[in-house]
């Protein structure tokens, strides 16, 4: 599970990393502490924005194609109606696809969430069969190393969810 997709959990990581840096480099402890306060402030603002905006969505249930979002869903009050996955290194069989179509139809979810690290071909085929639409949520496991990368990815995830869940 991708625990950092909960902003609360991510802030714990940031605090622990900062404590480690301060212990390893006490001469710069004040700078680390200052940076922690600034970054945590931005993360709290992001978290508040996400809570506020996601509370207004009509739909609360999502279907994902990977077990990456339970901490995210818990933090933001979403229900993961189903997680559709094939085993590592295994392709979806026709039977798998029929089973997934049945899950989508039974749950009534109109939004399927794929990830940028995986092909969305199966999700697109399932969407055609069920009248659903495929969106992309980023589990933030790849990407550029920028100081605002986490915030940018979470903002993009927020925009995607707001579009999909209206």
Query: What is the DSSP secondary-structure string of 92-160?
Result: PPHHHHHHHHHHHHHHT--EEEE-TTS--HHHHHHHHHHT-EEEE---SSSS---TTHHHHHHHHHHHH
d(CA 44, CA 51): 10
CATH number of the domain that residue 47 is part of: 3.40.50.1980
Note the pTM of the prediction, 2 decimals.
Answer: 0.91
Number of domains in the chain: 1
d(CA 132, CA 1): 25
Per-residue pLDDT tens over the stretch 89-145: 667 888 888 988 999 999 999 999 999 988 888 899 999 999 999 999 999 998 888
Range of the domain at 68: 3-164
**Is 5 buried (19+), middle (13-18) or exposed (0-12) by CB count in 10 A?**
buried
Q: Sort residue 109 into left (φ over 0), alpha (ψ -120 to 50) or beta.
A: beta
């Amino acid at each position: 599970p991708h625990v950092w997709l909960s902003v609360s959990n991510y802030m714990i990581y940031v605090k622990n990393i900062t404590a480690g840096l301060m212990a390893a480099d006490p001469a710069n402890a004040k700078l680390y502490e200052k940076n922690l306060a600034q970054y945590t402030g931005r993360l709290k603002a992001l978290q508040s924005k996400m809570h506020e905006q996601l509370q207004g969505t009509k739909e609360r249930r999502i279907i994902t194609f990977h077990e990456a979002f339970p901490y995210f869903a818990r933090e933001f009050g979403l229900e993961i109606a189903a997680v559709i996955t094939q085993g590592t290194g295994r392709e979806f069989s026709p039977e798998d696809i029929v089973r997934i179509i049945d899950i989508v139809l039974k749950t009534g979810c109109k939004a399927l969430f794929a990830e940028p690290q995986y092909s969305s071909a199966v999700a697109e085929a399932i969407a055609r069969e069920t009248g659903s639409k495929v969106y992309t949520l980023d589990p933030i496991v790849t990407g550029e190393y920028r100081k605002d990368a986490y915030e940018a990815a979470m903002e993009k995830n927020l925009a995607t969810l707001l579009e999909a869940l209206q």
